[in-house]
């Protein structure tokens, strides 16, 4: 945590994250068991002028209500509707940073050619992205992320993100779960993705997590 009102988005303090050379920046997770059926997240992020590559930004996890860890450490695994789900906002590795996208694990997601491996998906063909999706360097950007779970047995889940107050991504009409044993019960800063040959730094400020809906004042 750094105290410097000349840099902070608001107030005097902000979180400075360092990605080690060739490595990642770690994780910061908060659980709220047993969980909720919708969550809204708002925060500010700043990429310095020297930033290189992509990164994961923010994650919402769906673990079983009887096991808060069931959704963590599942990279490459395919969810079955009763074990876990997860959804992130990420910046693609194609730029510095690349476009912002959803990155989701859900039961009907496409498998890799081996039929048993799954990596997070940017969508299923029904998602909508509205450019520009790239966060500029050297400025604070307001990132908002809202996720609503489906009713088990129905494909009515929805997720939306806004960048600097403008809706840039929406994906609806799919399923995160087959049972209410899964709920949204953890939020995570996930500072990982595309390790580069240089040390990287990222700034974060003013995190809000609520079960409410987005308002114009957020």
Tell me: the pLDDT tens digits for 164-196?
Answer: 999 999 999 999 999 999 999 999 998 887 667
pLDDT at 196: 72
Mean pLDDT on 42-66: 96
Determine which helix (DSSP H) or strand (DSSP E) holds 159, and give its type and residue range: strand 157-163
Rounded Cα distance, 192 and 190, in Å: 6
Tell me: the pLDDT tens digits for 77-110?
Answer: 999 999 999 999 999 999 999 999 999 999 999 9
Mean pLDDT on 117-122: 98
Residue 6 has pLDDT above 50, yes or no: yes
Going by pLDDT thresholds of 50, 70 and 90, the confidence category of residue 21 is confident
Which of 62, 57, 76 is CA-nearest to residue 163?
57
Range with lowest mean pLDDT among 59-63, 92-96, 136-140? 92-96
pLDDT at 194: 66
Rounded Cα distance, 204 and 3, in Å: 12
- Mean pLDDT, the chain, rounded, equals 95
Residue 216 has pLDDT above 70, yes or no: no
Which of 16, 13, 48 is CA-nearest to residue 141?
48
pLDDT at 27: 86
pLDDT at 24: 80
pLDDT at 190: 87
Give me the residue spans of the domains in the chain.
Answer: 16-210
Choose the CATH number for 16-210 among 2.60.120.200, 3.30.365.10, 1.10.340.30, 3.40.50.10800: 2.60.120.200
Q: Which tokens is 157 given? A: 């889940």
pLDDT at 218: 46
């Amino acid at each position: 945590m750094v105290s410097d009102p000349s840099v902070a988005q608001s107030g005097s303090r902000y979180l400075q994250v360092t990605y080690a050379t060739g490595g990642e920046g770690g994780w910061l997770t908060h659980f709220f068991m047993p969980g909720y059926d919708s969550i809204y997240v708002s925060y500010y992020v700043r990429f310095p002028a020297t930033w290189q590559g992509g990164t994961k930004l923010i994650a919402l996890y769906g673990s079983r209500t009887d096991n808060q860890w069931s959704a963590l450490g599942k990279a490459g695994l395919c969810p079955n509707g009763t074990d876990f789900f997860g959804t992130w906002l990420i910046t693609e590795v194609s730029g510095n940073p690349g476009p912002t996208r959803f990155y989701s694990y859900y039961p009907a997601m496409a498998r890799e050619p081996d039929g048993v491996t799954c990596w997070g998906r940017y969508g299923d063909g029904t998602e909508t992205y509205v450019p520009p999706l790239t966060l500029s360097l050297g400025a604070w950007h307001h990132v908002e992320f809202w996720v609503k779970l489906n009713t088990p047995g129905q494909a009515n889940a929805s997720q939306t993100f806004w960048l600097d107050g403008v809706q840039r991504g929406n994906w609806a009409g799919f399923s995160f779960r087959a049972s209410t044993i899964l709920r949204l019960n953890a939020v995570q800063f996930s500072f990982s993705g595309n390790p580069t040959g240089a040390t990287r730094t990222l700034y974060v400020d003013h995190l809000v997590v609520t079960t409410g809906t987005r308002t114009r004042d957020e």
